[in-house]
Structure 1
Amino acid sequence: MTNIVSPAFVETARLCADAAASRVVRHFRIGLASDAKADDSPVTAADREAEQAMRAVIASRHPDHAILGEEFGGAHASGPWCWVIDPIDGTRAFITGRPSFTTLVALFHNDVPVLGVVDQPVTGERWVGVTGHKTLFESRSLPGTIGTRRCVALAAAELSCTSPDIFVPPFGEKFNMLRGLVRRTSWGGDAYAYGLLALGQIDIVAECTMKPWDWGALVPVVQGAGGRVTDWSGGALTLESAGDVLACGDAVLHAAVVRELSHAPSFR
């Protein structure tokens, strides 16, 4: 598994992030109009332009690979490789001028993510994760060192989630229980919060109703920083997962969170 991600694949992921950035940045903070998708989430011209640019990069370099994207769906391929992309993760942040959105590029092998890039084009921050290797963090100006922090006690943990609105039963009730056990809870950030977890700034991120393009890139990034990413029951994430995602910087803390989340009889 550690050797199947070739340097060419990593270069493709980087080129996708670059291509998306060139489209996204020119639309940032210009009052860009947004449309509502079927699930009432917003989408902009920047989302569509960026995904098309990313798809063009992949198609030119790996025409035999499948592509699954948030805005334009995906086609099945006969091989094991599938690129899963999200041009703007955090469109609400993007359209309100907050630089906490990211571009996400993931490569799955047999339904499991093995390569991930998390890119914030405005701040110039980029996380590159490859299964079996230490995650890289690159930044034009902001400080940061890759490595999750040791935190074994729930009472000392920093918990994060994008929004309370994402929860459906029984996840909302379980999250509120978890909130009562940790030191502090912060809201917002989307995928950017997982990058901060990889930098040792956050200890837990717990979310649900996520799609593969929301979490695919995050798994190699967090794991390569020393953390764990699973579903809320501690199971591995694949393209068939239900969409509940739990990331922890410390393996001991992760086990404690899974244990607490499993207590309610309504869960799973």
Structure 2
Amino acid sequence: MKKGIVKKTLDYIVLIITAIIFMFPLIWMVVSSFKSETAIMSDVTSIKAFMLPKIGKEILNNYVEIFQQLPIIKAELNSLFYIIIIIVLSLLVNSLAGYAFARLKFPFKNFIFAVLLSFMIIPAQTIMLPMFSMVYKLGWVNSYLGLIFPAIASPFYIFLFRQTFLKIPKEIEEAARIDGAGSYTIFFKLIMPLAKPIYATVSILTFIALWNDFLWPVMIISDPTKQTIQMALSTLFSVQPVNHGHIMAGLSVVTVPVVILFLFLQKYYVQGIASAGSKN
């Protein structure tokens, strides 16, 4: 009994130390966002790099200045607008496709699924030019449609949904059909509630990927009023001389929504990854 307690205590100590080590860059970024350029450079080689400066009016200078220089709020709202739409459509489309591969019977199902999985090894950068050509021909350049539709379907998310649905006992669906439930009722009122963790997982992965995406939005969007948060932040690197305090403040503003989202959904995220890792 005592050995078990000691082992568990040691495990927690190791995990806490590891977590702190991995959090060092995040802590340094947030702390540096409250410092002047001179202070950041002078403190970077000492423990002071992780210590907040004395509290005063100037402690928020970097944040005040970047909000004055950049349309941060507008860019964040732009990103949230199209990302939320993508998440809703992505959850619907990918989960329906995953359910089809998990439950329905149709010709060449396994072959089609294998081909779908093979798409996962293709780097996204290699298909960006063909995608841009299609978006251009559809007239979606410089519009949110060009950002939304190419990001809806994902072989990886279809795979995650399929693996999760395979673990749900078929007997539950058969019992629902006996009670008179149709396919849509079974999926939306039975399967979806049972698969909440994977929906949360895909939501987190989609949000992080799109929130951090820069290359595709910069190819599609040229209107400053429609620019995403990453596009807005990129201008901080083009202003000479580069102010690292401004950059750290901007990065902190961008990182906070992702951290908050993960903290709220981390329980479902872990359950979703675990449920998709194997099949019955």
Q: Is this a same-fold pair by TM over 0.5?
A: no
Shorter chain as denominator, the TM-score bin is: under 0.3
Higher relative contact order (CA 8 A, sep 6+): 2
Provide the TM-score with structure 1 as the length reference.
Answer: 0.27
Provide the TM-score with structure 2 as the length reference.
Answer: 0.26
Give the helix-richer structure, 1 or 2: 2
